[in-house]
């Protein structure tokens, strides 16, 4: 069974580009040459608020979401997200990267 294809991929990436124009949405691309990173391939949602004691990490697992709120674990996820931000392309570079893929998919 084949999923999607170039047209569906192009539409999804175009949607990401459109959403990234909103003030509260930032998209950052991690280039392949960044190497192996901890947490790669795992969906992580870090909910942050005005009181750090209430921060929560949600991990998507096959059996459902897992919520983490222990300070020691939150520190590890903060460090992970900081590292990912360090190696990712800046916002405009990321948008350009995605735009180039969209453009190449139009030719396919």
pLDDT in tens, 77-107: 999 999 999 999 999 999 999 999 999 998 7
Judgement on whether residues 54 and 83 belong to the same structural domain of the protein: yes
Judgement on whether residues 22 and 3 belong to the same structural domain of the protein: yes
Average the pLDDT over 12-35 and give the result: 93
Judgement on whether residues 46 and 70 belong to the same structural domain of the protein: yes
CA distances from 6 to 27, 30, 95, 104 (A): 21, 21, 19, 10
Residue 78's domain spans which residues? 38-88
Higher-pLDDT residue of 102, 38: 102
Beta strands (DSSP E) in the chain are: 44-47, 56-61, 64-68
Judgement on whether residues 82 and 107 belong to the same structural domain of the protein: no
Judgement on whether residues 47 and 73 belong to the same structural domain of the protein: yes
Both tokens of 10, joined, read 């192009």
Phi, psi for 52 (deg, rounded to 5): -55, -25
- Number of compact structural domains in the chain: 2
Judgement on whether residues 1 and 22 belong to the same structural domain of the protein: yes
Judgement on whether residues 93 and 64 belong to the same structural domain of the protein: no
């Amino acid at each position: 069974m084949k999923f999607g294809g170039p047209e569906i991929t192009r539409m999804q990436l175009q949607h990401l580009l459109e959403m990234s124009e909103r003030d509260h949405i930032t998209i950052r691309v991690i280039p392949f040459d960044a190497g192996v990173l901890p947490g790669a391939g795992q969906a992580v949602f870090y909910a942050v608020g005005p009181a750090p004691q209430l921060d929560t990490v949600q991990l998507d697992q096959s059996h459902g979401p897992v919520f983490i709120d222990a300070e020691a674990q939150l520190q590890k996820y903060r460090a992970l997200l900081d590292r990912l931000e360090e190696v990712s392309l800046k916002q405009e570079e990321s948008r350009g990267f995605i735009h180039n893929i969209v453009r190449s998919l139009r030719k396919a």
